[in-house]
Structure 1
Amino acid sequence: MTSATSGTGRPRDPEKDRAVIASTKQLLLDEGYRGATVAAIARHSGVGAPTIYRRWPRREMLIEDAAFRQTDSVSLPEDQGDLKRNLRAWATVFLATLADPVTRAALPGLISDYQQDPELYQRLLDRADSGARAVFVERLAVHVSGDDPAQVEQRLDVAFDILVGQTLLQALTFGETGRDEFCDRTAQALTAMLLSQTWT
C-alpha cells in the first residue's frame, strides 16, 4: 500500500517524508502512541507541522503509515510442503510483523481512535491484511482435502481470521516472547480445525 495521502501540486520531497516517518517511529518507541503528536514529530524531524498535515491530513494516518510502511513489502511464506509447516511459517511471519516494536506501539491507539470512523477502521484492517488473505487461501488450499472448493476456501478464510486474531493478541501482549511455543501451538490447533471431518 502506498502512503496515506497522494498530494497534488509541487512534488513531495522524499527526504522530508523519510525524516517525518523516522521521527514518528522514534517517538512511538520513546513516548508511546499519545506522545507521538504532530507537534512533537515536527520538532523532532525539523519538518513544519503544516507540511506534515499536507502529507498526512490526520495524525492517525501518519502513525499508521509509520507502523505499516515496513510491512508493506513483507515476504509471505512459500509452500512448506504440508499444512502444519505452512501454518507455522505463516504464524511466524505474522508474529514478527505485528510484534515489531513500532507496530506494537501504534496499533492499540489506532484501533481505539479509528473505532469512531468506520471507513478508516476498515482501511486499517485492509492494510494489515495487505492481500495476504488471498495468498494464504491459494497456497494452502492444496493441503486441505474436500470435494467442494468453496468449502475449502471457507475453511481457510476462517483459519486466516483466527490466525490474525490470535497473532495480534500474542504480539500486543507478549511481543515475540514465547514465539516458538506460540507458533507451534497455533499451527497444531489450526491444522486440527482445517482437517476436521466434522466441519459444516
Structure 2
Amino acid sequence: MEQEHPKRGRPRSAQADRAILEAARDLLIADGYEQLTMQAIAERAGVGRQTVYRRWPSKATIIAEAVMAGLLSPVPAGMTGGPDAPEPADLRAWLHAAAVGLSDATNLTIVRALAAAAAETEAGAIRLYRAFTEQGRTDLIDLLRRAVAHGEVRADADLEAAADAIQGAVLYTALAERPPRVEHLDSLADLLLTGLAPR
C-alpha cells in the first residue's frame, strides 16, 4: 500500500517576497518607521496580512531583510575605513561622515530599524552583525592601524576596544531621540584621540 505523504504548504512566491520588501522600503522612506505597519505593507504589496506574517514576524525583520536584499543601505557614505579612506587615517573625518550620514532621516530610520530587528532574535542579531557590523568594525580597526603607522595613535593601544567604543558611541547617538550632531561626534573624536595619542 502506498504511503501517504503529509501535505505541504504552498511554496513561497519570490514575486510576493519582493513585493513585500519593496512595499516596506517605500513606506519606510515615505512615512518613517513609527508609521510603518504590517497592514500597510500588505496593502501596498497587494497581499494578505497573514502572507506577510508567514514570512516575517515583524516590521523590523522585514526592514532587515530589505537591507540584506540590497533594497536599502544602512551605511552612510564615508563610514568605512577601507582602501578609499584618506591617508593618514583620520578618525575625526570618519566620525564627521557618521554624523552627516545619520543626519539624513532615511539613514537614521534604517539604522534604528536594524537595531530593533537585531534585538528581536539572537539569530537575527548574528546575521546582521556578520553582514554589516563585522565588516565595518574590521574596516575601522584597519583605519586605526594606519593611524598607528602614522604616529597618530600609540602602538600599544587596544584597537579592537577603540573600534567597539567608536561604533558603540555612534549607535548610541543614532538611537537617541535627536539625530547625531557633528559637534557632538567632533567632541568624541577629541576625547578618543587624546586617549589614544602616543604618550
TM-score by length of 2: 0.66
> Any gaps of 5 or more consecutive residues in structure 1?
1-7
In the aligned structure 2, how far is the partner of 1:18 from the partner of 1:172?
Answer: 24
Q: Which has the higher helix share?
A: 1
Aligned match of 2:165:
162
Aligned match of 2:194:
192
Aligned length: 178
When structure 1 is superposed on structure 2, of 126-135 and 9-18 the one drifting more is 9-18
Work out whether residues 28 and 105 of structure 1, in 8 Å CA contact, stay in contact via their aligned partners in 2.
Answer: yes
CA radius of gyration, larger in: 2
Aligned match of 1:172:
175
Aligned match of 2:39:
39
Aligned match of 2:127:
123
In the aligned structure 2, how far is the partner of 1:62 from the partner of 1:160?
Answer: 29
Counterparts of 1:46-195 in structure 2, within 5 Å, are 46-53=46-53, 55-65=55-65, 69-71=72-74, 74=77, 76-77=80-81, 78-83=84-89, 86-105=90-109, 111=115, 114-115=118-119, 117-129=121-133, 131-144=135-148, 155-173=158-176, 174-176=178-180, 178-179=181-182, 181-195=183-197
Structure with more contact order per residue of length (Cα contacts < 8 Å, sep ≥ 6): 1
Cα-Cα RMSD: 3.7
- Percent of aligned positions that are identical: 22
**1:114–1:132 CA distance, 2 compared to 1 (3 A):** closer
Aligned match of 1:4:
none
Please state how far the C-alpha of 1:99 moved relative to its aligned partner.
4.3
Equivalent AA in structure 2 for residue 79 of structure 1: A
Aligned match of 2:5:
none
Please state how far the C-alpha of 1:39 moved relative to its aligned partner.
1.0
Work out whether residues 67 and 102 of structure 1, in 8 Å CA contact, stay in contact via their aligned partners in 2.
Answer: no
Equivalent AA in structure 2 for residue 186 of structure 1: L
In the aligned structure 2, how far is the partner of 1:152 from the partner of 1:120?
Answer: 36
Please state how far the C-alpha of 1:55 moved relative to its aligned partner.
5.0
Work out whether residues 157 and 196 of structure 2, in 8 Å CA contact, stay in contact via their aligned partners in 1.
Answer: no
Please state how far the C-alpha of 1:43 moved relative to its aligned partner.
2.4
Aligned match of 2:23:
19
Please state how far the C-alpha of 1:155 moved relative to its aligned partner.
2.1
In the aligned structure 2, how far is the partner of 1:51 from the partner of 1:175?
Answer: 34
TM-score by length of 1: 0.65
Work out whether residues 72 and 130 of structure 1, in 8 Å CA contact, stay in contact via their aligned partners in 2.
Answer: no
Equivalent AA in structure 2 for residue 183 of structure 1: L
> Any gaps of 5 or more consecutive residues in structure 2?
1-10
